Structure 1
């Protein structure tokens, strides 16, 4: 009996000490709050287990129209550092406002990027969807790595090592995308989506030659009250005309945008819906698109299979 009691006591102490150690380890982890799922993934790739990274946006949410909640305010108040995409992806700069109000440092991942200009001559805007080129993501990663190493110099070597590996993975991803896209004849590289999220992808991989290698979409780059928002009769006519003239075999809906408009255009033009692409958000946990590399892989396979 004594031996049994003693064994139970030892086990209890061991579990208590282990639990306390885990709790202490968790307390020392850096609390990072990212605006979007993509930014959160980049931070996790760089910081590993040194950080607890939370994304304000859930998978499937639209950053252009998002309205922060009281829960978001509390999440940012508990953060050590915040990261945003920038270039007005976060409609009305909601991430910057949350960070400023909570007096938290803010990293803008697109610092130094030369963004594409889109829109008509009367109303030009800068396109914030820069992550659709892995080459641009390299800039995101370098910005986050440099900033985090500055804030947390004890982890500098680790962050740089992780970043180096991830940058190699991005180069492999870019080469793989080019290989896959080359299976589509140039005249069939017509990418029509719900909104202007794929300009960098089209420019990088030579889709939509008739539209200066930019997105063909009925809705502007923002779906909310930001500049360039919404669908106009003129824009809708342009998209319908482009589809009919190009003979595109398929058009695509997006995970973050209401598919109603694009489905109506598909019916009007007689083309198929090629599938649902990840755009402003990655996929939910457990899905094939839950990481940046995963979402790009799934998008490319879907596009190639529909258009080749």
Structure 2
């Protein structure tokens, strides 16, 4: 009897376990189907593909279009737009685009995004249209050139976003109200970012507001927030960073570092750090950290969005210079 009861108990236990496993499998399957359905619905509601040259431009586009568009960036986090070489995959990516977006002002070296879009017969939106550029002098240039790093002033970021909005609404007028609502929300976040930066910078004594970086990328930031920029003239990027710097311009930068009593100078996440480290050693100052410049950070990092990138840069700068 006991044996029979034991056997019956085992069968009951197995049956109960089997039912539990079946229910669990059913729940997982249901959740999977639901997620698949949501994903499919989102994809079906998409009206186009936006292909962007840089990570910053791609982030601005995402803020405007949300899930309505698939947004792709040619450059990955950490890439340098000045020296980037296009690939066959980039050609195919642009061929599939509904709209293409670039920074402009020749940030994309040799205008590679313009060339990709033109070859594919795609409309190209230049996000820096209507921005008043800062003019900078470069070694070997007879006349000043336009500084392309305009996004470092949130007031200019606003213009990027409005240019994107105009292009997206023209391409998809049926969702104009949605795009405008998203844009207004993001413009509010840009205003909050600007107010926060001003508050942080005001806590730093004016005589310490001197910024020396791997290349001359922070002029708009410096102008907006009262910093002196002391990056060497002729600074280039990529594997040959510093190759365009003459001994005279390098000496001038080091002289500025000493003149202003700079505590720290900065490398950039998308630029080779070796020359700036050598200059720090020569000038007797420390490297204050890495700044996001021509590229945002990878997913999960503090700099994965424009807002996050700007906040992280400001915190790094203030901490190193205070």
Select which of 122, 133, 149 maps to 1:104: 122
For 2:259 and 2:89, the matched residues in 1 are separated by 48
Aligned residue for 2:60?
A: 42
CA contact (8 A) 1:36 1:57 kept: yes
Structure 2 residue matching 1:49: 3-state secondary structure: coil
Judging changes above 3 Å, is the alpha-carbon distance between structure 1 residues 164 and 78 closer, same or farther for their aligned structure 2 residues? Answer: same
Structure 1 residue matching 2:70: 3-state secondary structure: strand
For 2:250 and 2:296, the matched residues in 1 are separated by 27
Aligned residue for 2:15?
A: none
1:58 has 2:72 as partner: no
CA contact (8 A) 2:211 2:230 kept: yes
1:187 has 2:223 as partner: no
Judging changes above 3 Å, is the alpha-carbon distance between structure 1 residues 13 and 277 closer, same or farther for their aligned structure 2 residues? Answer: closer
Aligned residue for 1:92?
A: 110
Question: Is the deviation greater in 21-30 or in 179-188?
Answer: 21-30
Aligned residue for 1:74?
A: 92
CA contact (8 A) 1:218 1:261 kept: no
Select which of 251, 275, 289 maps to 1:237: 251
Aligned residue for 1:26?
A: 43
For 1:238 and 1:221, the matched residues in 2 are separated by 13
1:171 has 2:185 as partner: no
Larger Rg: 2
**Structure 2 residue runs without a partner (length 5+):** 1-18
CA contact (8 A) 2:216 2:231 kept: yes
CA contact (8 A) 1:32 1:52 kept: yes
For 2:209 and 2:308, the matched residues in 1 are separated by 22
Q: CA deviation at 1:218?
A: 2.9
Tell me how many residue pairs correspond in the alignment. Answer: 294
1:280 has 2:294 as partner: yes
C-alpha deviations, 1:17-74, integer Å up to 9, x for none? 9857744642552211110000000000000010111111110100000011001111
1:147 has 2:164 as partner: no
C-alpha deviations, 1:261-280, integer Å up to 9, x for none? 10000000110110000000
Q: CA deviation at 1:219?
A: 5.9
CA contact (8 A) 2:269 2:291 kept: yes
Aligned residue for 2:312?
A: 298
Question: Is the deviation greater in 169-178 or in 24-33?
Answer: 24-33
Taking only aligned residues, the RMSD between alpha carbons, in angstroms, comes to 2.5
Aligned residue for 1:212?
A: none
Structure 1 residue matching 2:211: 3-state secondary structure: coil
Aligned residue for 1:211?
A: none
For 2:33 and 2:200, the matched residues in 1 are separated by 53
For 2:68 and 2:297, the matched residues in 1 are separated by 24
Judging changes above 3 Å, is the alpha-carbon distance between structure 1 residues 244 and 288 closer, same or farther for their aligned structure 2 residues? Answer: same
Aligned residue for 1:255?
A: 269
Aligned residue for 1:161?
A: 181
Segments ≥4 residues shifted beyond 6 Å: 11-18
**Structure 1 residue runs without a partner (length 5+):** 209-214
TM value normalised by structure 2 = 0.85
Judging changes above 3 Å, is the alpha-carbon distance between structure 1 residues 229 and 49 closer, same or farther for their aligned structure 2 residues? Answer: farther
C-alpha deviations, 1:150-193, integer Å up to 9, x for none? 11001111111110011111011001101000111001111000
